[in-house]
Amino acid sequence: MQKFFARNFAGYAFLTPWLIGFFLLSIGPILASFYLGFTKYNVVRPPQWIGLDNYAYMLQFDQRFWKALQVTFTFVVVSVPLKLIFALGVAMALDKGIRAIGWYRALFYLPSILGGSIAVAILWRQLFNYDGVINSALSLIGIDGPYWLSDPKFSLWTLVVLAVWQFGSPMLIFLAGLRAIPQELYEAAEIDAASPSKKFFAITVPLLAPVIFFNLVLQMIEAFKSFSGAFIISGGTGAPLDSLLFFTVYLYNEAFSFLRMGYASALAWVLLLIIALFTAIAFWTSKYWVHYENERG
């Protein structure tokens, strides 16, 4: 044992700052929130153990909890496929060997860097205000634009558009996947006079399936965690009429607006379980449509 530590001392010495941060800033808060989820805790007074009451109230009486789930699920189900389709379309366009490809990659990746920031959420709110740029452009062709942000029928869709606009990261991953597909397959399909759609569904999609699956899981998790856009555009309340009450916004309000830390901790664990469940379902279904190179022999 002494020889082991003597031989690896330098490595553990360099790892020590990371290990301290990992246990104090990650594992510690995770364990603390798990405990607080079974307590009534408002920061001012010590936590009071109440067992499963937080979870029972959440499931039986909290209507805003179910509304937050509805809004979040709608956002995930709509925005993730749209973003992946858009990202794949742009990646296929950029895979044609056009000039200045590096500039186009940087240009299309830029929204992914800026899209999650507070500044872009504020900019998005200004664009979709009733007197903003979008309605001004619509007025030029005689269309009276709606109240995008204050009408519950439209507010969520503005955030879906914002999410799709952040397509740069999956687009780059799709582009790398497309470059890995052997061109001989497309040349053989050309000889057989295969149509573009036939080549897409018979060659591109099957060979790109591992990349599609990776992007799907990654973007699904990101969509469940979406916060800044909904928080800024709704003023931190989920307005109008809770149409932007994302689960993360509701969790934030319970924790930091109403100081119900115990209940917020329970909400956080429910969100973790939901993400874990959907990720597990994605992995389970992947065996039916994702095939890897080593499986093809």
pLDDT for residue 48: 95
CB count in 10 Å sphere of residue 65: 22
Task: Inform me whether the pLDDT recorded for 115 exceeds 70.
Answer: no
What's residue 106's pLDDT? 73
The reported pLDDT for the residue numbered 114 is 63
The rounded distance, in Å, linking the Cα atoms of 250 and 230 is 10
Most confident stretch, 23-27, 161-165, 229-233, 279-283: 279-283
Residue 112's pLDDT is what? 66
* Percent of all residues in the chain with a pLDDT value above 90, rounded to a whole number: 53
Average pLDDT over residues 51-70: 95
Rounded average pLDDT over 200-218: 94
Tokens of 44: 């001012």
Give φ, ψ of 258 to 5 degrees: -105, 0
Query: Rounded to the nearest 10 degrees, what angle do helices 101-114 and 168-179 cross at?
Result: 140
Look at residue 56 in the predicted model and tell me its pLDDT.
Answer: 96
Q: Looking at residue 107, what is its pLDDT? A: 73
Strand spans (E) along the chain: 39-40, 48-49
CA distance 68 to 83: 22
CA distance 225 to 247: 8
Query: Taking 60 as the threshold, does the pLDDT of residue 69 lie above it?
Result: yes
129: Cβ contacts below 8 Å, ≥ 6 apart: 135, 148, 149
The pLDDT of residue 118 is 75
Phi then psi for residue 246, to 5 deg, are -65, 155
Q: Output the average pLDDT for the chain.
A: 89
What sections of 142-259 are H helices per DSSP?
A: 152-165, 168-179, 183-191, 196-199, 205-224, 228-233, 247-252
In angstroms, the CA 172 to CA 6 distance is: 44
> In percent, how much of the chain has pLDDT > 70?
93
For 39, phi then psi, to 5°, come to -130, 165
Range scoring the smallest mean pLDDT among 121-125, 258-262, 290-294:
290-294
Give the pLDDT confidence score for residue 267 in this predicted structure: 97
Picking from 254-263, 264-273, 283-292, which range would have the lowest pLDDT averaged per residue? Answer: 283-292
Which residue in 293, 280, 277 sits closest to 73, CA to CA? 277
Rounded CA separation 161/241 (Å): 20
Position 126 scores a pLDDT of 84
Query: Is the pLDDT at 257 greater than 70, yes or no?
Result: yes
Q: 3-32: per-residue pLDDT in tens?
A: 777 778 888 888 899 989 988 889 999 999
What per-residue confidence (pLDDT) applies to 133?
87
pLDDT at 196 > cutoff 60: yes
The Cα–Cα gap between 246 and 225 comes to 9
Query: Which residues face 48 on adjacent strands?
Result: 40
- Look at residue 285 in the predicted model and tell me its pLDDT: 95
- Residue 115 in contact with residue 165, Cβ under 8 Å? yes
Return the DSSP state at 49.
E
The per-residue pLDDT for 294 is 65
**Which residues on neighbouring strands pair with residue 40, listed in sequence order?**
48
Looking at the predicted structure, is the pLDDT value of residue 297 above 60?
no
Residue 203 has pLDDT above 70, yes or no: yes
pLDDT of residue 85: 96
For 17, counting Cβ atoms within 10 Å of its Cβ (0-12 exposed, 13-18 middle, 19+ buried), the class is exposed
pLDDT tops 80 at residue 296: no
Residue 178 banded pLDDT, cuts 50, 70, 90 = very high
Give the pLDDT mean for 94-103: 73
| pLDDT, average across residues 260-287 | 96
